[in-house]
Amino acid sequence: MNALQDLLDRIERRRAVVGIAGLGYVGLPLALRFAEEGFRVIGFDIDPDKVERLNRGESYIEHISSEAVARAVGAGLQATTDFSQAAEADALILCVPTPLDRYRNPDLSFVLDTMDALLPHMHAGQLVSLESTTWPGTTEEKLKPRIEARGLKVGEDVFLVYSPEREDPGNPKFTTRNIPKVCGGVTEACLKAGVALYGQVVDEVVPVSSTQAAELTKLLENIHRAVNIGLVNEMKIVADRMGIDILEVIRAAATKPFGFTPYWPGPGLGGHCIPIDPFYLTWKAREYGVHTRFIELAGEINSSMPDYVVNKVILALNGVEKPVKGSHILVLGIAYKKNVDDMRESPSVELMLKLSQLGAEIAYSDPHIPVFPKIRKCHFDLSSVELTPETLAAYDCVLLATDHDRFDYDMIGRHARLIVDTRGRFPAGGKVVRA
């Protein structure tokens, strides 16, 4: 039996061992899904705390329950920092971050370091899948040569695919199982192996003609959102100058049953995809002599939103004869989106930084994040403030940055002295300033 047929047989019989490198918001749900379907799963991570907690059956991601982790551990999920165990895996799936460096260029160090850690333990008959968002060509230009330098022929000995992650943390409507999975292979044999593997745990696998097509698919999905959010953020500024409620306009436009999709303005972009992914394409496009002006303009608009909000705070405080310096400001919500504990690229952090640099005394309240975590951008030695009528009244300004459903908006509206609202949860006017 050749390497491909043997691998397909092991997958179909669910005897294949699945290794997942990176046990964060993408890798952990995928690991649980494979374990749920009866696969033995080895989870690799460089964070020993994550590994220990998983092996105890504990979750460190709010929307994933410890019960679900414990069930997966009972079904055979094992987490480890020992990458030599990759030798036991039939499939190796990379779910590691792809951030930007300080020059806003793609940083593939996590992908390449992970691949280099796995390579000494790879052997014929394995499938390798990259899920991390990246520029078109990464899989074939960066991973394929590394694998073949080990003497393993891609498409014959080892099967290499790109299958972009699609996660919407905190949205119970969409799960790893029911979100269609795009997959592109270096060769037809690679694609066949990738489709077979993901077909065991995902309701619909969408094959495409190449890894490059799959890589660009992921970028298009998120650039589509980034551009439309940039448009509506610019419309927000125009409407504000005209004295028009942009939220009323969006709701009215959304009644059109064709040709319009509503997007909502906010204080800036957050999360691991939308603020970052467009720059992966603009960087790669320069290699082909293409200047992606439309995408970059949307990025400029979205990146300017925290400054727009800070200016609104300054004007709101001026309106009650208070300087921003020395004012006590309570930021509501520091996660990048509502109802999650994910702070990656959160615009709330940018707002806190900018206001503190102007001399404001900053505090925050977030029911999903009890203590401000250590993140690369900065660190505030703060814990979440409990919202009561007394605490709300003690602040000069309350800045609604992330509109979690667990906030008591009626209480906030009654007792806050001044509200700057970036999410449209309060009627404009009086002590409420829209930003």
Query: Considering the domain 305-434, what is its CATH architecture?
Result: 3-Layer(aba) Sandwich (3.40)
User: What is the rounded distance in angstroms from the CA atom of residue 372 to the CA atom of residue 196?
Assistant: 42
Q: Is the dihedral angle over the CA atoms 346, 347, 351, 357 positive or is it negative?
A: positive
CB atoms closer than 10 angstroms to residue 262:
13
* Per-residue model confidence (pLDDT) at position 169: 78
Higher pLDDT, 269 or 74: 74
Per-residue pLDDT, averaged over 307-335, amounts to 97
Nearest to 85 by CA among 51, 44, 40: 44
Beta bridge partners of 400: 332, 421
Per-residue pLDDT, averaged over 282-310, amounts to 92
Per-residue pLDDT, averaged over 419-435, amounts to 95
Q: Which residues are catalytic?
A: 273
- To the nearest whole percent, how much of the chain has pLDDT over 70? 98
First-residue to last-residue Cα distance in the chain: 64
- For the chain, what is the mean pLDDT? 94
**Token pair in block for residue 272:** 């691991």
H or E stretch at 303 = helix 293-319
H or E stretch at 94 = strand 91-94
* Per-residue model confidence (pLDDT) at position 355: 97
* Per-residue model confidence (pLDDT) at position 271: 67
Per-residue pLDDT, averaged over 264-276, amounts to 80
**Domain extents in the chain:** 3-209, 305-434
Is the confidence at residue 382, as pLDDT, over 90?
yes
User: At 282, which amino acid appears?
Assistant: T
* Per-residue model confidence (pLDDT) at position 139: 98
CA angle 251, 257, 259 (to 5 degrees): 90
Task: Give CA 173 to chain center in angstroms.
Answer: 17
Per-residue pLDDT, averaged over 37-63, amounts to 95
CATH value of 3-209 in 3.40.50.720, 3.40.109.40, 3.40.50.1950, 3.20.20.150: 3.40.50.720
3-209 and 305-434: identical CATH topology = yes
Nearest to 129 by CA among 172, 72, 86, 91: 91
- HSE-up of residue 301 (Cα within 13 Å, Cβ side): 21
* Per-residue model confidence (pLDDT) at position 199: 97
Higher pLDDT, 274 or 399: 399
Predicted confidence band of residue 418 (pLDDT cuts 50, 70, 90): very high
Predicted confidence band of residue 181 (pLDDT cuts 50, 70, 90): very high
* Per-residue model confidence (pLDDT) at position 86: 97
Per-residue pLDDT, averaged over 244-256, amounts to 97
- Sort strands 17-21 and 40-44 into parallel, antiparallel or unpaired: parallel
Query: pLDDT, tens digit, for every residue of 12-21?
Result: 999 999 999 9
* Per-residue model confidence (pLDDT) at position 378: 77
User: What is the rounded distance in angstroms from the CA atom of residue 135 to the CA atom of residue 212?
Assistant: 8
Query: pLDDT, tens digit, for every residue of 336-380?
Result: 999 999 888 899 999 999 999 999 999 999 999 999 988 776 779
Query: pLDDT, tens digit, for every residue of 126-148?
Result: 999 999 999 999 999 999 999 99
Query: pLDDT, tens digit, for every residue of 190-228?
Result: 999 999 999 999 999 999 999 999 999 999 999 999 999
Query: pLDDT, tens digit, for every residue of 69-127?
Result: 999 999 999 999 999 999 999 999 999 999 888 888 899 999 999 999 999 999 999 99
Predicted confidence band of residue 272 (pLDDT cuts 50, 70, 90): low
User: What is the rounded distance in angstroms from the CA atom of residue 59 to the CA atom of residue 63?
Assistant: 9
Residues 6+ apart with CB under 8 A from 200: 11, 14, 34, 37, 39
Is the CB of residue 66 less than 8 Å from the CB of residue 39? no
